[in-house]
Amino acid sequence: MTSTFQYKSVYLPVFLVLWLGLFLDSQVVVARLEYGQWLTNGLVLLCFIWVYFSVTRKIKKLMLYGVGLAFLGEVVFSIILGMYEYRLANVPIYVPLGHSLVYAAVFYIHKEKVIQRHKVMITSVLYWGMIVYSSLWLIFDQDLLGFLCMLAVVLLLKKKTGNELFFLIMFFMVVYLELLGTYYDCWVWPDTWFSTISFITSSNPPSGISVFYFGFDIGCLWMYKKLNSQNWKRMKSIRLLRNS
């Protein structure tokens, strides 16, 4: 009998490695173990290799594109613009790899038959859960940045592309990642946006910051379309035939 959760070997290691890796790079661990971040780099790299060889050819390519795109984004937003800062004021090796792992994990969670079977209900629960989550952060911690980012997500979802559930799962995957990373002091978000726009206050982390991950997802897909145009057209044709 087919397992209820067919792809758990892809996304469960990602959940575990995100927790363990960020713990190893935490202030508590590095106070006793100087090379904690290098342990995290190695652990995340091993997880990346495991997931890479567990996914389809298309997702393999998207993961590789994602590493390059994530590194560029981290340099721009963290190092140049100072939107947030990592513990050692660098871009840890595990971060770009982690972005691609999150993408792959969300893709395969979304693909699970049990998720697809209850797609409408789960989409509704996650949608309203997202709004409540960001609203509570706004009320209790003056997280205006996170709330505005959440509203941007709501606007994106109104386009009805058919990928609403994917993005909502991504939203809460990012919540998990950001809460871990900031709890362990692996990175920190300033009290205001870019530490300069004083009227846009922020929590650590901002509740709706996943909107920037959506840009990462869209960027990866755009790169795939441009670099694999024939495969993309073939896939679109197959989808049209299935839906006709």
> Could you read off the pLDDT of 209-227 as tens digits, one per residue?
999 888 888 888 888 888 8
- Residue 2 predicted with pLDDT over 70: no
The pLDDT value given to residue 222: 85
Would you place residue 241 in the very low, low, confident or very high pLDDT band (cuts 50, 70, 90)? low
Residue 149 lies in a domain: yes
The pLDDT value given to residue 1: 40
Residue 184 lies in a domain: yes
Residues 171 and 193: beta-carbon distance below 8 Å: no
Domain that residue 211 falls in: 8-243
Orientation of helix 8-24 relative to helix 94-111, angle to 10°: 150
Q: What is the spatial distance between Cα 53 and Cα 210, in angstroms, rounded to a whole number?
A: 26
The pLDDT value given to residue 221: 81
Q: Which of 12-21, 66-75, 123-132, 226-235 has the lowest mean pLDDT?
A: 226-235
Residue 222 lies in a domain: yes
Average pLDDT over every residue of 177-195? 95
pTM of the complete model: 0.91
Percentage, residues of the chain above pLDDT 70: 93
Q: Among 15-24, 159-168, 221-230, which range has the highest average pLDDT?
A: 15-24
Residue 232 lies in a domain: yes
Residue 153 lies in a domain: yes
Number of domains in the chain: 1
Residue 1 lies in a domain: no
Q: What is the spatial distance between Cα 116 and Cα 109, in angstroms, rounded to a whole number?
A: 10
Residue 99 lies in a domain: yes
- Residue 231 predicted with pLDDT over 80: no
Would you place residue 63 in the very low, low, confident or very high pLDDT band (cuts 50, 70, 90)? very high
Instruction: Classify residue 93 by burial, with Cβ atoms within 10 Å: 0-12, 13-18, 19+.
Output: middle
- Residue 193 predicted with pLDDT over 80: yes
- Share the mean pLDDT of the chain: 92
Residue 3 lies in a domain: no
